[in-house]
Amino acid sequence: MKYLVLSVSIVVTLFAFSMSLETGEVSAGLSSSISISIYNFMHGIFPNNLVDFDSFHLWVRKAAHVSEFFIMGSLWLLTFHLFHIKLIYAIPLGLVVALMDEGIQLFISGRSPSLIDALVFDFLGYLFGHMILRTFIKIKK
């Protein structure tokens, strides 16, 4: 079981890195197509919404950062728990991964790293996932 969780943690981390390896054009196209689908669905439910598409698209992109790193934080905390590694050590891992994920974009056409994305959306999403799962582990004990 613990090796399966470790494998999934690694795959999710590599997935985050792979998304940062996409060119700006590919990344924008992917997030735009997802945003358009969600926006049209929401517009069908709330036809009089006042949110313009560009603002909505930005919200979807930031929510993707938080969600991806929330899952990652939960998985790495579970991995550390299963391998009996002090859980506090999972926190610097999240910071390093968030900074590396954004740093990759230095080398990709049409992309640029954002310290705000790394620290606010990625790392805080990671910490939130970490803390939620850590709370459940404490309750279980």
Q: How confident is the model at residue 52 (pLDDT cuts 50, 70, 90)?
A: confident
> Could you tell me which residues come within 8 angstroms of residue 76 by beta carbon, excluding any fewer than 6 positions away?
9, 13, 90, 93, 94, 126, 130
Share of the chain above pLDDT 70, in %: 99
Q: pTM score, two decimals?
A: 0.88
Q: What is the pLDDT of residue 136?
A: 87
What ranges in 24-52 are assigned the alpha helix state H?
Answer: 24-45
| Count of domains for the chain | 1
pLDDT at 49 > cutoff 80: no
The domain of 92 spans 2-140
Q: What token pair was written down for 13?
A: 């981390």
Q: What is the pLDDT of residue 123?
A: 97
Give the whole-angstrom CA distance, residue 2 versus residue 81: 9
Q: How confident is the model at residue 139 (pLDDT cuts 50, 70, 90)?
A: confident
Q: Which amino acid is at 13?
A: T
Least confident of 13-17, 44-48, 54-58: 44-48
